[in-house]
Amino acid sequence: MTITGSCLCGSYTFEVDEVVGPFEVCHCNRCRKKSGAAGLPMVGVLARDYRVLSGLDAVTTYEAPLLGKPPPYHSFFCKTCGSPLPPPDPDDWFEIPAGLFDDDPGVRPDKHIFVELVPAWDEITDDLPQLGLRDLVRGRRSEELPEGHEMVTHHGTRIKV
C-alpha cells in the first residue's frame, strides 16, 4: 500500500511503497535544532521505493560544518514553510522525517539515538533501547571509542562520553 507524505505548506509531496526502517528518534543537537523538538523521528526508506510527486524545486539544502568524520550533516527543508525534508537526490537508503507522513507508515520507533544529548527539559519515558555515541560507533563502525572520548556536539561544545 502506498504511503503518502507532505510538508507543512503542501508544495512538497511524495509517496513510498514501503518503509524498511530502522525508525530512530535522534536527539543529536543538529536534529534537535533542525526540528525544534527534543528529538527527530526518522524512518529509513530505500530510494527505489520512493517517488517525489511535487515540489522538488522547493527543497533547500544547508550543509553544516563537519563536527567529526565525513559525511557532513545536511539539513534539507522546504523554502516556503521550513519543514524538514528528505534529501533531493537520495542514496540507496535514506531517512524521512516521520512527521511528514500523512498515512501510517506501518512501523513504530525502534530506538533512541544520541541519548547523551536529550535536553534537560525532556525525559525518555518509553522502553525502547537508548543508544549513545559509544554504542553507535560500536554498532555502525565496529570501532571502540577510547576512554574519556570527547564528543563535539555543536559549534565548539564538547562532552565526555
Applying CB under 5 A, which residues contact Zn ion? 7, 9, 11, 26, 28, 31, 78, 80-81
Residue 73 contacts residue 61 (beta carbons within 8 Å): no
CA atoms of 35 and 16, how far apart (whole Å): 22
* Smallest distance, Zn ion to C-beta of residue 19, A: 18
* Smallest distance, Zn ion to C-beta of residue 32, A: 8
Which residue number, 4 or 17, has a Cβ lying nearer to Zn ion? Answer: 4
Cell of residue 155, nine digits: 559549534
DSSP 48-89: GGEEEEE-GGGEEEEEPPPSSSSSPPEEEEETTT--B---SS
Which residue number, 26 or 67, has a Cβ lying nearer to Zn ion? Answer: 26
Which residue number, 11 or 153, has a Cβ lying nearer to Zn ion? Answer: 11
Alpha helices, H only, 2-51: 29-35
* Smallest distance, Zn ion to C-beta of residue 33, A: 10
Which residue number, 18 or 135, has a Cβ lying nearer to Zn ion? Answer: 135
